[in-house]
A and B are shown apart, each in its own frame.
Chain A
């Protein structure tokens, strides 16, 4: 069975500090991977997607970047956090581009 693991579970960071959030998919080769973000009280929106190693497409500009260094790994990062980056970050995967998407448990980020 496929499992999706996100780290860390929660993080409190200072404005201007760097950030790195990780996601690993096990039990599935060549998955499509996604990053979603939900501001407190807001709706979920897709930030990035990747269909293969080394290839990442940006959907929404939030001064964040994403990378896919391995087939089963997806990283979300920024060099300088803003207060507006606070929220709930979710990694997700699908088998193809036209199939159901499965979400991880998320990382709660608070920027102070």
Chain B
């Protein structure tokens, strides 16, 4: 699977909108962009995913660049419970549905 690059950490204040960047310059045409978040001592929580078009759900908005070499997870009006490690993962369509986690971005939220 192609590699992703994320900043090690980001900080935000409650109520702000956070933009979490992810670079995937060598992404293949059949790779989906998945975002998960994880807090200590818990399993990862699915946030969203996309292939080419921007997507939105109750948790976040995923903006995908037109060349698909980067994406941004946008979290509107963050709260303290949004503090977590956010993982940007590329998953190949088909195979064993393997998710390859990296270190992700540690998002800190200040009251």
Contacts and interface: CB of A to CB of B under 8 A. Distances in A.
A45 B101 contact: yes
Interface stretch (B5-13, B18-26, B61-69, B89-97): B89-97
Contacts of B42: 105-106
Interface in A33-54: 34, 36, 43-46, 49
B76 interface: no
Residue from B41, B45, B97 with most neighbouring chain A CB atoms (10 Å): B97
B94 A106 contact: no
Contacts of B34: 100
B59 interface: no
B43 A90 contact: yes
Contacts, number: 51
A46 B43 contact: no
B102 A43 contact: yes
Contacts of A104: 43
Contacts of B102: 43
Interface residues of B, number: 19
Nearest to B99: A101
A44 B101 contact: yes
A49 B97 contact: yes
Nearest to B49: A100
Nearest to A88: B41
A100 B43 contact: no
Given A106-B43, A108-B41, A43 B95 contact: no
Given A99-B97, A106-B42, 13 more contacts: A36-B99, A44-B44, A44-B101, A46-B98, A46-B99, A49-B98, A97-B94, A98-B94, A100-B34, A100-B49, A101-B97, A103-B45, A106-B43
Interface of A: 32, 34, 36, 43-46, 49, 57, 59, 88, 90, 92, 94, 96-106, 108
